[in-house]
Structure 1
Amino acid sequence: MLTRHLSAAARPADSSDIDGTWFDLVDGDAAERARAEAASGVRLPGRERLAGIELSNRVGIVDDVLRLGIPYFSPDDAAPPAPVGFVLTPRFLVSLRFAASPAFELAAERVRAAAPGTSTDAFVVLVQSIVADAADRMEAVAAEVGALSTRIFGGERRDTGLLRATLAEIGRVEARLARLRLSTTGLLRILLALREAPPAWVGQPALARLHAAQKDLEVLGEFDSQLTDKLQFLLDAVLGFINIDQNDVIKILTVASVVSIPPVILAGIWGMNFDHMPELHLPHAYPLALAAIVSSMVLPLAWFKRRGWM
């Protein structure tokens, strides 16, 4: 789908020769790509080139045409990462993506309302919208991490089923955070490269706003590191509780095996078929044998309890 966004300051015309026009191509077919190329006057890169992780595929400028790419961009918390590309000229901005994204929808609203005068202004608004969306999503992840911490260390009973569910939840949250990290890291790298060697037609005000967005991304990177460390701590805590539960089971089995040894020995001795066994001829030999067997079980249990092993 090809969408053309005009600023509020642009003239209401059907022609494409308006400075500051933004063409947004979402999973476009060959015909839509051809229309975007004809309107902007530039050749658009394919998905395979945008997905390349080498820096030469992410940033390049030829004949006043700036091509930027993010190989792994997470449009939302559900969709898998896909490449995103930007083609920026002094007059037009073309974005290439392959899934719907709330960040681009927010940018479209801001472009229509903020009246950017140039294509660079539209690109800055788009970058700022992506940063704002990433910040909101990272705040949501932080809230989920806090809820996980409360669930793990709260007062509720930590049974095996709860621990397993929590372990799966930690994996899901970490996957969301990893996809978001790929997006912010990719955007940060193209901003760093753009600020190191900006085209002559990119003004200082736009570079200053991009520098502010870069600082925001660096802060998000630090916040991401904190959340990653917190998730690792929660993962270690859950595995520790599971290990404690397993140790409790082993301890119970060990106590049961130790307690069962004396009665088995006594029953084995008195169950032997010898002709001369003095105990067999004692008065009340049977109840005495039962009492001895029970005592051989109770005494070890009492000893374990006194030592605090149970």
Structure 2
Amino acid sequence: MVKRTRYLLKRPKSTKALHQAPGTVTYVGRKEQVETVLEVIDYNAEAFERFVSKTPEDAFKFEEEDRTTWINIDGLSNTAEIEKIGKYYDLHPLIIEDIVNTNQRPKIDEYSDYFFIVAKMLYYREDGRLENEHISMVLGKNYVITFQEAGGDVFDGVRERLSKAKGRIRSRGADYLVFALLDAIVDNYFVVVEEMSDKIEAMEERVFDPQPNDDITLEIQELKRTMLRIRRAVNPLREVVSRLEKMDHELIQEQTINYLKDLYDHMLQVSENIEIYREMTWGLMDMYMTSISNKMNEVMKVLTIMASIFIPLTFLAGIYGMNFEYMPELHFKFSYPILLVIMSVLIVGMLIYFRRKRWL
């Protein structure tokens, strides 16, 4: 379970950046008043160093050629600190603008000496709500910088592999670290999609429940909105990975391309599952309306059969309920029991007829 820090949530307002010059750094997001915290991991095959700081200058001393430095920044609302980091690493002003704009869709921009990647981290919070967190990555020659909205992420596995020298990550460069981070994000997509699958299956069972909850339509609409959020986060990232594995750039080593191809295969699998579950989600409302219609048809069939049975009985009762003086059957001794027998025979005969027609 991903642990989250406390922060003040606000609705993102893209209008903050209106009427401003391109490259103006304005935070657009929900997680205001989050203190900027830097986590720096500097490593190679033989050495490993990690520390946490609130001062950006502490991350500027790692420039050794034989090491890879991963700088993770939590908190984007303090734009002055973000600009300071961007200025030190000579990032384009438009890149800084995109870093603090959480409405930015996943993409990749190629520059002469670095790549800029935008992705979305998806995970379920403890209250069951889906969290969609904006994350930016800068891949340089010997460094990777990641920018997150708030503390907590899906990279604990990567940190553990780095600290314990598991696998090949410590012996590879910054490009492999970017692959590992993207791979962690995509792996968590599988978790989110699997959770959505369980929710859809549970909703299907509720749809066919004899007495479904009145709020089921609202819950289906919420599922549809959640599915759209997942789709908007995943599909653009598939294009990002596809472009990354096809790039001919000195920052991407040839041995890393094979891993990126495998990552792209995972993205295709996630996208296919999302499309399947999206169709299933869209079909839930049709299934519910069909179920309601079938139940209504059953009710109408019963009422129609009852009305059909009582029509001839009402006809007979109407005839002999008239107050005419000269009706011979009224003075016959056995008129009443004979009429009851006729009515009973009509009821039984009509029920038999309905049964043979399979209306019952």
Report how many aligned residue pairs link the two structures.
Answer: 301
Partners of 2:99 and 2:339 in 1: CA distance: 84
Which runs of 5 or more residues in structure 2 are unaligned?
1-35, 52-57, 63-67
| Superposition TM-score, scaled by structure 2 size | 0.68
Matched, 1:248 2:298: yes
Matched, 1:184 2:234: yes
Q: 1:24 to 1:12 in 2, by over 3 A?
A: closer
Q: 1:25 aligns to what? A: 74
Partners of 2:81 and 2:156 in 1: CA distance: 19
Match runs of 1:23-62 below 5 Å: 23-38=72-87, 40-42=89-91, 43=93, 44-46=96-98, 51-53=103-105, 58-62=107-111
Match runs of 1:1-310 below 5 Å: 1-8=36-43, 9-11=47-49, 14-18=58-62, 19-38=68-87, 40-42=89-91, 43=93, 44-46=96-98, 51-53=103-105, 58-70=107-119, 74-76=122-124, 78-98=129-149, 102-113=153-164, 114-115=169-170, 118-145=173-200, 151=205, 158-161=209-212, 175-229=225-279, 231=281, 237-310=287-360
CA contact (8 A) 1:84 1:96 kept: yes
Which letter does structure 2 place at the counterpart of 1:64?
D
Of the two structures, which has the highest relative contact order with CA contacts closer than 8 Å and spacing of 6 or more?
1
Please say which of residues 59-68 and 234-243 is displaced more in the overlay.
Answer: 234-243
- 3-state SS of paired residue (1:221): helix
Q: Percent identity?
A: 18
Partners of 2:358 and 2:121 in 1: CA distance: 56
Please say which of residues 114-123 and 164-173 is displaced more in the overlay.
Answer: 164-173
Per-residue CA deviations over 1:123-150 (Å, capped at 9, x if unaligned) read: 121111112211233334445555666x
TM-fit CA distance, 1:98: 2.9
Cα RMSD after superposing both structures:
3.5
Per-residue CA deviations over 1:242-262 (Å, capped at 9, x if unaligned) read: 333222112111111111111
- 3-state SS of paired residue (2:146): strand
- 3-state SS of paired residue (1:6): strand
Per-residue CA deviations over 1:201-228 (Å, capped at 9, x if unaligned) read: 2222233322221121112223334444
TM-fit CA distance, 1:6: 0.2
CA contact (8 A) 2:220 2:285 kept: yes
- 3-state SS of paired residue (1:136): helix
Which runs of 5 or more residues in structure 1 are unaligned?
none
CA contact (8 A) 1:25 1:33 kept: no
Partners of 1:173 and 1:107 in 2: CA distance: 31
CA contact (8 A) 1:145 1:231 kept: yes
Which letter does structure 2 place at the counterpart of 1:26?
G
CA contact (8 A) 1:50 1:69 kept: no
- 3-state SS of paired residue (2:97): coil
Which letter does structure 1 place at the counterpart of 2:245?
R
- 3-state SS of paired residue (1:120): helix
- 3-state SS of paired residue (1:202): coil
CA contact (8 A) 2:40 2:50 kept: no
